[in-house]
A and B are shown apart, each in its own frame.
Chain A
Amino acid sequence: MTIELFDVQVTHEGRTLVDVPRLTLRPGRAVTIVGESGSGKSLLAHALMGSLPHALHATGEIHLGPDRSSLTDTRARRKLWGRRLALLPQEPVLALDPTMRVHHQVAEGHPRFLHGRRGRAEALELAGTRLAGLGLGGTEQAYPHTLSGGMAQRVAFAAATIGGAEVLIADEPSKGLDTGSRDALARLLTRHVDQGGSLLTITHDLDLARAVGGTLLVMRQAGIVEQGPTEQVLARPAHTWTQRLLAAQPRRWTPPWRDTTPDPAAGTTLITGSGLRKAYGARPLFSGLDLEIAAGERLSLTGPSGCGKTTLGGILLRLVPPDAGEVRHHPGLAEGRVQKLYQDPSVAFAPRVPIRTGLRDVVRRHRADPARVHLLLERLGLDPALLDRRPGEVSGGELQRLAIIRAMLVEPRVLFADEPTSRLDLLTQEETVGCLMDQVVEHGAALVLVTHDLDLAAAVADRQVSLDGIHDAEPAESERTG
């Protein structure tokens, strides 16, 4: 079934959020839309599905094979959900029902699940086969929270496709996945296309786009600025915007902070961890680990998700007690001279308090100069009006920069950054890391960067510690996160 969309416009209170004259999905072909956050790419997918929030208004026409209807008629498409149109949700860990076993959750999407005992048995059997086919045999009775991000993504894939929908829409499917899980996901999506399905992927992950292939559309400010075969667009981008997007990948960076690398031998050791061991239940994360962090050095902790990077960071910051071993801090680290940036900055601020109030508390407590807040806002390119908003009303990239400002007010000697940009799109990541490194260089602080992105680690850190080989659990086991 070929799907064609004509003159798609999505508006909210008179503002145009999506304006795409034409979009075609053909059987056996993949279409990928890339763009920054806020470019309208997710809304386009939801307009196609007919699942836009009520306040948004979509106009245009949709041709589903021989059927023609208006985009405003969402009821017609609702009947096709699961059978012909399926959506692979963002953040499957949140999209799966936490109270339902995996097996039932997948079977529920089968068209005959509600058709008596026979249909139900049939659906459960198919769900089992599908799960086994995705390498998830043995997890039928598991609850979603016991699965890793990659496994949850595959369960969501099984649940979305069991209804036999030939059109699959994947909305930011690789968000929060490490490289291994992302490649596995790309293989699944490609397989769907090879079996004659059509695929629309919305992503800001250029590596995923490259792996899926097909046609690439580049979206910016509600419109499409460039389209063509993925290989060609990524190799020879015609539009300046696409070129900028490609240049924002960490492996293409030309980091100015490289020239200012301090001499590691000169720095005193600030944090010493010796003989560290930590296990979650029966599963060891690491043992006998020795690690030193010297003043001014830039260290990265890498490894797949669930390998204990964040836990190790918590131990080094003395927020989490190790099972064995000890962590010593240099006396100069007292009074808040160790700071941390979080993967999701919105959870690191008091949620109901304007950001200004939170920063003012920091300024008062540490007797910092209040003017520094504005100096830093200017340096990091932020509008001072942002201070009057609450954390939930600021975009992720801006909030992470505000978190950097908050940390820098204390003049830290060690800054621990836990996946600070893994939820941001490429351009915002480049901007945020730029701001972070500016501040780190300026203050001569040591940086510990936790990331699963090896390119980012290589661009930022002088020394890399990989947690991959430290624990010796089996691969299947290591996919489960705590």
Chain B
Amino acid sequence: MSVPAPQRITTAAPDGNPDGNPAGTPATPPAPRWGTPGRAVRARTARLLAGALLTALVAFALLGPLVWHQYSGQDLSQFLQPPSPAEPLGHDHLGRSVIARLAHATRLSLALAVLCVATAALAGTALGLLAAWRRGWLDQLLLGISEVFLALPALLIVLIFAALASGELWTIYLGIALAQWVEYFRVVRARSVSVLTSPAVEAAGLLRLGPVHVLRRHLWPELAPVLLTMATLGMATAVLAMSTLSYVGVGLTPPTAELGLLITEALPYYHEAPWMVLAPVAVLLLLLVGLLGLRSQEVRR
């Protein structure tokens, strides 16, 4: 780490003539942007709200199972008990605590979504960078494979895997990750090709700065905001895909607490205990709103 001089001089810099501008205008580091401040404020508020919502949901998913740890214990004497202070969402048709099941379901959905997105993003980004860097036949091969995946509907890929071993968690994980890596691959590849052929990277090549510099200073700053956006969107898709599969009965199987399963199980009792259906739907909705709220901010950046 040999950068002694810069810091010292920066702090000593007078605010006289920062950009050599003969007009001698006061120092305003970034060049003036003619934008409306109102939009930025609103976007920041939206992001804060979305962040708070997500934090609350994550806290519920992490702490909820500790508070209400009995999510599969049946007690038929509690059949469809309405909400009470001790059991904020009452009991289901088998007398199980609904809030405990909801907390476990939320934890499962979030954990699986994070895992799927992390796997898909890592694999897709790595392959996209490889294709953009090497070009040639490798690029063509990877592009061909990605096109095969693109041609199939994402849910169909997940369904095929889910059908291999019905109700197993790993098949759902693998299916969703396989359906999602393609978009990371294609976006990363397309962006990286344009970055790698830019004059800035050409100049870095002439300066012999090497691949680590290109990755850190040119590719990563360009890709990171897009990847973040895609990851939040991908989380939402993963959560939805998983609950859709359970809802139609090809995903996880009953004793497990899962958002889609909770809805299916509660549907017959909608008239007697509407809170049982509405609670998982609300969690799903809030989760998606939170994730998409974060995303819109990333796009504007």
Contact = CB atoms under 8 A, between A and B. Distances in A.
B10 interface: yes
Given A221-B23, A398-B20, A385 B4 contact: no
Given A56-B34, A385-B29, A388-B29, A340 B6 contact: no
A170 to B, nearest CB: 22
B190 interface: no
Given A12-B32, A353-B217, A406-B207, A385 B18 contact: yes
A385 B222 CA distance: 24
Given A336-B207, A352-B221, A387 B31 contact: no
B211 to A, nearest CB: 12
Contacts of B17: 383
Contacts of B208: 335-336, 365-366
Given A340-B203, A353-B217, A356-B6, A36 B32 contact: no
B148 interface: no
A251 interface: no
Contact of A340 (B21, B206, B213): B206
Contacts of B6: 356, 360, 370, 373-374, 384, 387
Given A55-B35, A356-B6, A388-B10, A221 B207 contact: no
B255 interface: no
Contact of A374 (B5, B20, B27, B209): B5
A432 B175 CA distance: 58
Contact of B213 (A220, A348, A351, A365): A365
Interface stretch (A147-155, A224-232, A389-397): A389-397
B198 interface: yes
B206 A383 contact: no
B207 A381 contact: no
A53 interface: yes
A54 interface: yes
A382 interface: yes
A347 B198 contact: yes
The secondary structure that dominates the B interface is: loop
Contacts of B4: 370
A433 to B, nearest CB: 15
Nearest to A428: B20
Interface in B189-232: 198-200, 202-210, 213, 217-218, 221-222
A53 B22 CA distance: 23
B219 to A, nearest CB: 9
Given A370-B3, A383-B17, A388-B10, A361 B213 contact: yes
Nearest to A342: B199
Contact of A353 (B21, B32, B206, B221): B221
B200 A348 contact: yes
A393 B31 contact: yes
B36 interface: yes
A81 interface: no
A32 to B, nearest CB: 21
A319 interface: yes
B194 to A, nearest CB: 12
Nearest to A378: B9
A127 B30 CA distance: 43
A365 B210 CA distance: 9
A358 interface: yes
A410 B10 contact: no
Contact of A342 (B29, B203, B209): B203
B55 interface: no
A373 B3 CA distance: 10
A371 to B, nearest CB: 5
A15 interface: yes
Interface in A148-178: none
Contacts of A336: 206-208
A366 B209 CA distance: 9
A38 interface: yes
A217 interface: no
Interface string A307-318: 000000000010
B41 interface: no
A383 B10 CA distance: 9
A35 B75 CA distance: 87
A360 B3 contact: yes
A398 B19 contact: yes
A317 B20 contact: no
Contacts of A13: 32
A373 B5 CA distance: 9
Nearest to B222: A352
Contacts of A393: 29-31
A384 B222 contact: no
Contacts of A349: 200, 203
Nearest to A317: B206
B140 interface: no
Contact of A350 (B10, B36, B221): B221
Contacts of B19: 383, 386, 394-395, 398
A385 to B, nearest CB: 4
B151 interface: no
A354 to B, nearest CB: 10
A262 B199 CA distance: 31
B280 to A, nearest CB: 41
Given A383-B17, A389-B29, A362 B199 contact: no
Contacts of A55: 32, 34-36
A190 interface: no
A15 B18 CA distance: 16
Contacts of A220: 22
Contacts of A388: 10, 29
A410 B203 CA distance: 12
A339 B217 contact: no
B77 interface: no
A95 to B, nearest CB: 18
A384 B27 CA distance: 13
Interface string A394-431: 11011000000010001000000000000000000000
Contacts of B145: none
A357 interface: yes
B82 to A, nearest CB: 55
Interface of A: 12-13, 15, 36, 38, 53-56, 220-222, 317, 319, 335-336, 338-340, 342, 344, 347-353, 356-358, 360-366, 370-371, 373-374, 381-389, 392-395, 397-398, 406, 410
Interface of B: 2-6, 9-10, 13, 17-23, 25, 27, 29-32, 34-36, 198-200, 202-210, 213, 217-218, 221-222
Per CB-CB distance, the 8 closest pairs between chain A and chain B, nearest first, are: A53-B34, A352-B221, A336-B208, A55-B34, A385-B13, A350-B217, A384-B9, A348-B203
Given A350-B217, A388-B10, 8 more contacts: A55-B32, A340-B206, A358-B217, A371-B5, A383-B19, A386-B18, A392-B31, A398-B19
17 contacts: A38-B21, A55-B32, A55-B36, A339-B206, A339-B207, A342-B199, A350-B217, A350-B218, A352-B221, A361-B209, A362-B209, A364-B2, A373-B6, A389-B30, A392-B31, A397-B20, A398-B19
